[in-house]
Amino acid sequence: MKMNKVAVIGVGLTKFGELWDQSFSDLFVEAGANAIVDAGIDGKDIDAIYLGNMSGGRFIEQEHMASLISDQAGLNPAPATRIEAACASGGLAVRQGVIAVASGMHDVVVVGGVEKMTDITSERVTQTLITAADQEWEAFLGMTFPGVYALIARRHMHEFGTTREQLAAVSVKNHANAKDNPHAQFRFDVTVEQVLGSTMVADPLTLLDCSPITDGAACIVLASPEKAKEFTDSPVYITGAGQATSTIALHDRERITVSDATINAAKAAYKMAGKGPEDIDVAEVHDCFTIAELLAIEGLGFCEIGEGGPFTEEGSTARGGKISVNTSGGLKAKGHPVGATGVAQVVEVVLQLRGEAGKRQVDADVGLTHNVGGSGGTAAVHILEK
């Protein structure tokens, strides 16, 4: 099924990191203001707001946050809707914004994602994040997300011969990219030896295999092609959108080393855009742990299932490689404010397609974003073109 094209006419970000001096509302308002200025629109042009947020209720004890955000941003009475799908909340918010514009319901919408994660202890953050897993059979028995992905990593190593060095290569690459991203949380290089020697979290995953706890917000402005012409001569278009669902618990999956939701979401997005994996120049994929990036590039069709380790190790996913993956630094080094991640991925790809990514710029005409909820229960994929 072909979709009416939807233009991205504005993007905005906050810094990602431990942002002690900014509140939840502050973060969204900053990212939203940056996107609105970038788009060159006025608040009265905005028809609707879609907000990705995983768990404001647990992180900051705030629910009804769509109303809060609209109010704080001065955008009342525009309808505002919160979207929740664990770490894929931002990606699904983008999808809902795309549907709203493509359907003709609205001409201009703001899509944001925000999470304030550092105001509670690391233990409570871990407990909050594991609510995205099966509570009865995983969380209740003491499983954490590092533990879930460690099981996947061990099985991937067993089935395909993936090595610890290949997992570490993901971290090394993404830190190198983040070093050139002024919004990234961790702007420094790491080596394979440092990744392997860092504190063990859940065997085989060490601290430097894991994405951090992060505050931050991201925002984009979407418009119909006709409306976009009023504000920009060079919009980036979202031409494909796919979403798929898989089992929430690992034990219900046929194979834990394959992300069915990613594969099915990608198929839908590729078909809608009339593209294939070979057409993608730059991709922002969900690398909450280093093993997750391998599952992503395999499920998206950039390499064969089981070949993600060698594909990464040989430099195929580096900037300027066969396909540039996570030029922003990814969740691993840019940071992972869970509700904002899917929107921030779109921001990075738009900057790349516009030629505005600075030192991390690559040659790109077609980009892709890939956002996952939990260990693969939800996936959202978007295709973007100049």
Length of the chain: 386
CA 254 to CA 247: how far, in whole Å? 10
Q: What is the pLDDT of residue 380?
A: 98
Task: Check if 210 is active-site.
Answer: no
- Is residue 336 among the annotated active site residues? yes
Q: Which of 87, 210, 219, 288 is catalytic?
A: 87
pLDDT digits (tens, 9 = 90+) for 195-254: 999 999 999 999 999 999 999 999 999 999 999 999 998 899 999 999 999 999 989 999
pLDDT of 233: 86
The DSSP annotation for 128-196 comes to HHGGGS-IIIIITTT--HHHHHHHHHHHHHHHH---HHHHHHHHHHHHHHHTT-TT-S--S---HHHHH
Residue 363 tokens, joined: 């040659």
Rounded distance between C-alpha atoms, residue 9 and residue 202, angstroms: 42
Q: Between 65-72 and 24-39, two packed helices, what is the crossing angle to 10 degrees?
A: 60
CB burial readout 301-334, b (16+ within 10 A) else e: bbbebbbbbbbbbeebbbbeeebbbbbbbbbbbb
| CA 99 – CA 4 distance, rounded (Å) | 9
- pTM, whole model, 2 decimals? 0.97
C-alpha–C-alpha distance, residues 357 and 373, integer Å: 27
Assign 52 a pLDDT band (cuts: 50, 70, 90): very high
Q: Where in the chain is the domain with CATH 3.40.47.10?
A: 6-120+214-236, 129-211+239-385
Residue 162 has pLDDT above 90, yes or no: yes
pLDDT band at 4, cuts 50/70/90? confident
Enter the DSSP assignment of 84. -
- Comparing CA positions, the residue from 69, 320, 104, 71 lying closest to residue 219 is 69
CATH 2.40.70.10 corresponds to the domain 129-211+239-385: no
Q: How far is it, in rounded angstroms, from Cα 358 to Cα 362?
A: 9
- Pick the catalytic residue: 156, 183, 336, 382? 336
pLDDT digits (tens, 9 = 90+) for 291-346: 999 999 999 999 999 999 999 999 999 999 999 999 999 999 999 999 999 999 99
Task: Calculate ∠ Cα 33-40-342, nearest 5°.
Answer: 50
CA of 87: how far to CAs of 55, 72, 191, 250, in Å? 10, 24, 27, 17
CB 381 within 8 A of CB 369: yes
Work out the number of other CB atoms within 10 angstroms of the CB of residue 5: 18
Name the strand (E) or helix (H) holding 71.
helix 65-72
Q: Which residues pair with 81 in a beta bridge?
A: 50
- Class of the 6-120+214-236 domain? alpha beta
CA distance 79 to 290: 38
Q: Residue 1: pLDDT band by 50, 70, 90 thresholds? A: low
